Structure 1
Amino acid sequence: MFEAEAKVRRIAAGLLTFTLPRAAWTHEAHLATVVALLVEHPEIQLEQQLPGIISRFNESVGGVNDDAQGYHETLTQFWIANARAHLAANPAGSLLDQVNAFILSPRGRRDAPLRYYSRERLFSVEARRHLVEPDLMRFDWDMPDAAPAPKL
């Protein structure tokens, strides 16, 4: 949970400027950043631009983007689509309210992708490198008012 909108904005800005400390890039920070960018930076086409931003951020903090660590395409696209769906269903409230509500919702749970993907498929090299369809349950990539769905 975040206590102030300023912290959410600092995290999102830190990602965009590659100044966020590596330890601050948590699951909650990922979700807060996606919501903040969707709400406050609609000019950023997240589906297309966030992959490069995250990859560059990882490298800026000494990380590696390879077949075993770093950027993960399927998870990134999943969280963008899930955040869009959450915001479409819950459009009211401050940025802080929207971020915290998403984190606390079933859509924001760390294990939410595992409702749709087997562990084997989700953590495969293919899923890390490319967007893959779920193997357990259908996921609706075309959320209301969303940018065009990523190419599968």
Structure 2
Amino acid sequence: MTEYSPRLFTTDGEIEHLGEGLLACTLTRPEWTHEAHLAATTYLEQRRPDISLDVELPGIIRRFNESVGGVNSETEGYHETITRAFLYGVRLFLADADGSAPLHRLVNDLLKSPMGRRDWPLRFYSRERLFCVEARLTYVEPDLMSMPRS
């Protein structure tokens, strides 16, 4: 697996900015990093129970991508399987996390955990399966091993 040092957050406001900015399509493209994806997802999962992420997250991300000039196609933009894998990972992490911790601390702990690693889905998917057109457009099951249960 690839080693990296995630960008950590210092305030809950940073996380709220990412979550609400994703919804409002007010983030800039450079703000939409791996860390921002997980921070926004954690924010939405924790603070926006009015949004059904299982149903609405794909459209939210597609709309944001288009708002910054991106394209959602067979080769770029929204990726269904990666999104579902990381949403699962966020929920798996939160199931065992200290729910009373400040939001930015939760996100930082997530980013430092296995579920926060950029290459986390590759523990379960071969590169060929994860990066095929079918996996981008629809959810495909892992081919290396099942996702862990909480």
TM-score (norm 1): 0.90
Q: Which residue of 2 aligns with 1:106?
A: 114
Code of the residue aligned with 2:74 in structure 1: it is D
Three-state SS of the structure 1 residue aligned to 2:43 is helix
RMSD: 1.1
Q: Which residue of 1 aligns with 2:38?
A: 31
Offset of 1:91 from its aligned partner?
3.3
* Structure 1 CA distance for aligned equivalents of residues 82 and 55 of structure 2: 14
Where do 5+ consecutive residues of structure 2 fail to align? 1-7
Where do 5+ consecutive residues of structure 1 fail to align? 145-152
Please, which of 126, 129, 142 is the counterpart of residue 121 of structure 1?
A: 129
Offset of 1:55 from its aligned partner?
0.3
Code of the residue aligned with 1:20 in structure 2: it is L
Three-state SS of the structure 1 residue aligned to 2:91 is helix
Q: Deviations over 1:20-47 (max 9, x none)?
A: 0011100000000011111101121101
* Structure 2 CA distance for aligned equivalents of residues 21 and 129 of structure 1: 24
TM-score (norm 2): 0.91
Please, which of 45, 49, 57 is the counterpart of residue 50 of structure 1?
A: 57
Q: Percent identity?
A: 51
- Give yes or no for the alignment of 1:132 onto 2:140: yes
* Structure 2 CA distance for aligned equivalents of residues 110 and 44 of structure 1: 25
- Give yes or no for the alignment of 1:87 onto 2:94: yes
In the TM superposition, structure 1's runs of 4+ consecutive aligned residues that sit over 3 Å from their partners are none
* Structure 2 CA distance for aligned equivalents of residues 10 and 130 of structure 1: 29
- Give yes or no for the alignment of 1:22 onto 2:34: no
* Structure 1 CA distance for aligned equivalents of residues 106 and 113 of structure 2: 10
- Give yes or no for the alignment of 1:10 onto 2:17: yes
* Structure 1 CA distance for aligned equivalents of residues 98 and 138 of structure 2: 30
Q: Which residue of 2 aligns with 1:69?
A: 76
